[in-house]
Structure 1
Amino acid sequence: MQTRHYPPTDNFLEMLLKANAARLGAVFQHPNEYRLQVVYTRIDRDQQNKPHFQDFYYRVDTNSYFYPASTVKLPGAILALEKLNDLHIPGVDKFTPMLTDSLANISPAVTSDSSAVNKLPSIAHYIKKIFLTSDNDAFNRLYEFLGQQEFNTRLWEKGYTQAQIRHRVGIPLNIVDNLQTNAIRFQQGHHLLYLQPAKISHLNFSPRHDSIGKAHYNYLGKLQNGPMDFSFRNRISLPALHNIMRSIIFPEAVTNSQRFRLTESDYQFLYKCMSQLPSETADPAYDTSQFQDAYVKFLLYGGEKTAHIPPHIRIFNKPGWAYGFLTDVAYIVDFANQVEFLLSATVYVNKDGILGDDQYEFDQTGKPFLKVLGQLIYETELQRKKKYPADLSRYKIIYDK
C-alpha cells in the first residue's frame, strides 16, 4: 500500500491496448499527456466458486497525482455503514432519520430531504444519491458524520496509508473549515436516539507537493499563472480505489484487516445502490431526461444519453470527474454469459491546461475513451475460456421498478 510504481504482472494488458491503439484514440497514443492509468483484474472461479484474481496494470504509479473527485464517495459510503455498525445503538441504523445541525459560516443544517419519500434524510438515502447521481451534498453529510479524523484513520487502518480525504466536495471551504464537522442527531419523531457532538480533526497529514496545470482560477475567480496546488486536497491512488471495490464485491477474498465491518444486509444494499439505474428507483425519483441510465456508467457505456444497458449487464461502480480528471472504478458483470471483471481507470482531459475554467474534454475525449476501454476488456472476457462457470447469483438484485 506504500508509494510505488506498479509493474505489469505480464504485458497482456499493454499488448491488448497497443493492438487496439487506433480504436482507443488520442488518450492511448499520448498517455503521458492524458495521465492515463489502468488497473484490470481478471477473475477465475474454482470448483467451490471461490474467486482467484490476476491483476494487470498499465502506467499505474502512486506518485503520479490525480484528483479523485467523487470517487472518494465510495469509501465515504462504506465507512458510514461501518461506523453505524460499530456504534451499535439500539434503533439506529442506515434508515434512521439523521438530522444535521448547522456549523456557522461553514455548513447549513439539514432536517428534511425533499427527494426522500418520507421527506427525511438518512445514511441510506444519502448513499443512494451518491451512487445514482454522484450527489455532492449527500457525500458532505457523510463526511460530517464520519469526521475528517475518523474518515482517514479508518482508511489507514485498512492499509490505505497514502489516502488523504481532507475536504467536502463541491463547496469552496478552506483547510480549517474542513477540519470541523457538524453535530448530528439520529431520532425517530421527537425521540432522540443518538447525539454526536460537533468535532474538530487534530490529524497530522504527511506533507505533499501535488500541483497540476499551467494556470488556474483561484477561489476569488481570478486567473493566476502557474499550476494549481492540490497538496491540501483529497488524494487516493487508483490501486487503493480498485482494492476498496474488490473488498466490497469480494469481502471473503481480502484479509480480515482490509475487510470492512459490514453485514450481509449492508453488502446487498451497496450492490443495489451501485448498480441501480436512475430509471429503476422511486426513492429518490429522478427526471430521466436529465439523469439517463448511463449517467454515471462511463466504462462500457461512456455516460451516453442514448445508451441502452441490457438487463443482463450490471455495472457496480463509482466514477468521479472534476478539474479535467475523469476516473471510474467498476465491477462489471454479464449474467447471461457469466462474465465478471474489475476495471479502474483515470484520465486527464484538459487541453488548455487551465484549471477552474470548466473547459474540459470529458464528453469529447474522456468518456469515449473509457467506453472503448470497457468494451475491449468486456470483449476479451467474452472470448476467454474458463474452467469453471461463475455463480453470480449474489449480485442479482431486485430493483424498485
Structure 2
Amino acid sequence: MKIALVCLLSFCLSISYGQARTDAYLSTLLQANPHPVFQEVIRHPAPYRLQIIYTQIDRDKHNKPSFTHYYFRVDSTEYFNPASTVKLPLALLSLEKLNRLNKPEVNKFTPVQFDSAYSGQTKEWYDKSAQNGYPSIAHLIRKAFLVSENDPYSRLYEFVGQGEINRSLHAKGYLDTRITHRFVRMNPDQNRHTNPVRFIRADGQTIYAQPAAFNEAPFDARRIDTLGRGYLVGKDSLVRQPFDFTGRNKLPLEALQQILQSTLFPMSVPEKQRFALTSDDYQFLRQYLSQLPGETNYPKYDAKQYYDTYVKFFFMDSLHHRLPEGVRVFNKVGWAYGFLTDASYVVDFNNEIEYMLTATVYVNRDGILNDDTYEYESIGNPFMYQLGQTIYRHELARKRTRVPDLRQFRIQYEKRHDDDRPVIRDVDN
C-alpha cells in the first residue's frame, strides 16, 4: 500500500488509528543500505517495534514549504515509550501558558521557584547552572533540550499541570496522547497533584503566585498497553508478567512528528493546531533544539561527555561525534525501557537541503524491563545512525524544483566562554 500524504501549507491531523501504514517508496529506500545491523532490523521490524516517518520538504516560488510524508509501520496502537520526547510538548505548553498569563513582568526569563504542598513533592528555589542562580522557564527548556535533563521536564510538568497538559494537547488534535507523570518516582495520585509555583523579582519579591493544583479528570484506559515477558522491581526481584504501560506517558510517532513540524513551521498548520507562541519564543526554541552542548555557557556542560551528537541519534557516529560541515539538526530524542526515539528536522546549509525524519526502535532481546540490559550500543544506536545516513544520502541526491531559502534557520549560536567554572557532568537524563 502506498501512502504519500502531501500537505500544501496545511496540517493533516485526520489520523486513522489502529491501521499500520507502510509506503513502498520508503521501503525501497531502506532496502538500499546493506549494513548488517540495519538490515537485521528492517527485515524483522515487528520484534523491534520499528516505526519511521520520512518527510520530504519542497518549496514553491514564494519559498513556502510543502510536506510529503512517507511511512514505515506507523501505527498509533503499537505502544512505544516516548521517554524524553515528551519534553518538547511540555516546553511548548509552558511558553504558551506564560503568554496566556499576559503579565508583563512574567516571561520565560523571569526567575521562578517551586514549593511543595503534597506527598512526594520537592522544592526548587535556586539553580547554580543558571547565570543568575535561579530557575526560569527558559533555563528549564535549555536543559531539557541540550542534553535532555529530566528534572527540568518535571518542573515544566508542575508549572503547566497534569490536567491542563492533556486538555491542551487534545484540543489541538492530539487525541491519542497521554502525559501522566513526572520523571521521578511517584504514584498516580502524587502525579495528579502539582506544586505551588511563584515568579519573583531580583529582590525576591513575588510577582505572580500559582497555587497547587489537582487533576480530577480520568484517563482513558480502555486500550491496555503491556510489553515484555517480565520486569525487575528493585535490583533483583523479577516479576514474571508483562510490564504495564497503560497509565504511562504516550505520544504516538505521528503526533511527535507533527508537534515538531508545528514548532518549526507554525504557518504550515491550521491556527487551531498551533501553539500560542511569540516570534521570540519560536526563535528561542529553534536555537536550543539545534544548539550544541559545547556551544552553551549556561549550563556549562562537559563538552567531552556531552559531545556534539549526544542527542542527535541520526548523526551519532560512534567514531567522530561530529555533525557534517554545514549541517544543523533541530530535534528531540528520548531513550528508556529499550526504546530509542528521535524526531528531527535536518538542514544542510552547504548543500541547500532540508527534510524531517522521525523514528522509534525497541532493543530488548531478553524481554525483561527495568534490568538496564538493552542493546542500545550494539543495535539501537547503530541502527538509528544508519537510518539517518540512508535518508541524508538520499536527500543529497534528490532533485528539487527550487532551491530552498533557509535563512530563517541560520542562528547566531553562543560561543563558550573560557572561564574557571567547573563543567557539569553526569546529569540525570
Q: What TM-score bracket applies, with the shorter chain setting the length?
A: over 0.9
Paired with 1:337 and 1:147, the residues of 2 have a C-alpha distance of 43
1:358-369 mapped onto 2 (5 Å cutoff):
358-369=372-383
Alignment match, 2:422: none
Task: Give the share of equivalent positions with the same residue, in percent.
Answer: 48
Q: Does 1:256 align with 2:271?
A: yes
Alignment match, 1:121: 135
Residues 1-34 of structure 1: CA deviation (Å, up to 9, x unaligned): 45232534x4110111123254523211211110
SS at match of 1:131: helix
Paired with 2:39 and 2:360, the residues of 1 have a C-alpha distance of 15
Match of 1:112 among 126, 130, 152: 126
SS at match of 1:257: helix
**CA 87–278 in structure 1, closer or farther in 2 if over 3 Å, else same:** same
1:151-166 mapped onto 2 (5 Å cutoff):
151-166=165-180
SS at match of 2:315: coil
Tell me the TM-score normalised to structure 2 length.
0.90
The question of whether the paired residues in 2 share the 8 Å contact of 1:331 and 1:340 is answered with: yes
Paired with 2:185 and 2:235, the residues of 1 have a C-alpha distance of 10
Alignment match, 2:188: 175
Q: Does 1:348 align with 2:333?
A: no
1:54-203 mapped onto 2 (5 Å cutoff):
54-169=68-183, 171-188=184-201, 189-203=203-217
Paired with 2:315 and 2:73, the residues of 1 have a C-alpha distance of 20
Paired with 1:237 and 1:147, the residues of 2 have a C-alpha distance of 21
Paired with 1:102 and 1:2, the residues of 2 have a C-alpha distance of 42
Paired with 1:248 and 1:103, the residues of 2 have a C-alpha distance of 33
Match of 1:387 among 377, 401, 411: 401
Alignment match, 1:13: 26
Paired with 2:284 and 2:341, the residues of 1 have a C-alpha distance of 23
Shift of 1:221: 5.8
Alignment match, 1:235: 250
SS at match of 1:34: coil
Amino acid at match of 2:387: L
Match of 1:216 among 208, 228, 231: 231
The question of whether the paired residues in 2 share the 8 Å contact of 1:300 and 1:373 is answered with: no
The farther-off stretch of 233-242 and 97-106 is 97-106
Paired with 2:388 and 2:327, the residues of 1 have a C-alpha distance of 13
Q: Which structure 2 residue ranges, 5 or more long, are not aligned?
A: 1-14, 416-429
**CA 311–89 in structure 1, closer or farther in 2 if over 3 Å, else same:** farther
Tell me the TM-score normalised to structure 1 length.
0.97
Match of 1:27 among 23, 41, 55: 41
Paired with 1:197 and 1:324, the residues of 2 have a C-alpha distance of 37
Residues 333-379 of structure 1: CA deviation (Å, up to 9, x unaligned): 10111111110000000111100011111122111101110111111
Shift of 1:300: 2.5
Q: Which structure 1 residue ranges, 5 or more long, are not aligned?
A: none
Residues 237-284 of structure 1: CA deviation (Å, up to 9, x unaligned): 000000001111110110111111111100110000000111100011
Paired with 1:27 and 1:394, the residues of 2 have a C-alpha distance of 36
1:277-316 mapped onto 2 (5 Å cutoff):
277-302=292-317, 304=318, 306-316=320-330
Match of 1:52 among 60, 66, 69: 66
Paired with 1:68 and 1:163, the residues of 2 have a C-alpha distance of 10
Paired with 1:117 and 1:381, the residues of 2 have a C-alpha distance of 40
Q: RMSD across aligned C-alpha pairs, in angstroms?
A: 1.4
Match of 1:269 among 264, 284, 290: 284
